Structure 1
């Protein structure tokens, strides 16, 4: 049985944070190094910023408990992709990162109530 938070006040925010925690643990277990989390700027937010060797990985995390509005991956729209690209460029500038290889990943967490979560890591999603 999964340990996803129950419905209640602030459930969506808590559920999303739980999904990000799960995604961060899975990526770190796979050998990526967490550099930043929930980084905000005027261009938007970066859920997870990691490194994999000399590559910087910007990862969008989408957590869903149902598919009424589509799969978690389907919620990554072109508008969201554009915001992540702009925020990533700002992150690189503000952290004084010179030229480096960059990858944009998506981690989806599908966790219907009462079931174990299904986590999918989509490398190079956009």
Structure 2
């Protein structure tokens, strides 16, 4: 895939995942939120909780899952910390980190609490 095609495919995947969460009742708070530590693909709200979502697109869900690196997880944690600093309860805000995998057919698989050890 060329860079532009890959970029647009990624944006389309993020939009599809945002709709998936919206259909489940979560509210999109931010798309491609950027802090000094990096970017978070989607930030959603479920009541007082915040859900941080990393979207990965590849031919298969398995290939997409392999694209989430420990370095990237650390960057997402740092950016999420920046986001939570602006919340009324700050770092005490209930939150989780999901990974949404999108395959070449557009099928979405969400791994809730994907970063939980």
- The reply on whether 1:105 has 2:94 as its aligned counterpart is no
Q: Tell me, which stretches of 5 or more residues in structure 2 are unaligned? A: none
Deviations 1:1-51 (A, max 9, x none): xxxxxx667101101000000000001101111001101122110100001
After superposing on structure 2, the runs of 4+ consecutive aligned residues of structure 1 that deviate more than 6 Å are none
Deviations 1:56-85 (A, max 9, x none): 100000011x25xx6111111100100000
The 5 A counterparts of 1:1-126 are 10-64=4-58, 66=59, 71-93=63-85, 95-98=86-89, 99-111=92-104, 116-126=105-115
Q: Distance in 1 between matches of 2:51 and 2:106?
A: 23
How many residue pairs align between the two structures?
Answer: 112
Structure whose CA Rg is larger:
1
Compute the TM-score of the two structures, normalised by the length of structure 1: 0.82
* Structure with a larger share of its residues in helix: 2
SS, match of residue 125 in structure 1 = coil
Question: For the aligned residues, what is the CA RMSD?
Answer: 1.6
Compute the TM-score of the two structures, normalised by the length of structure 2: 0.88
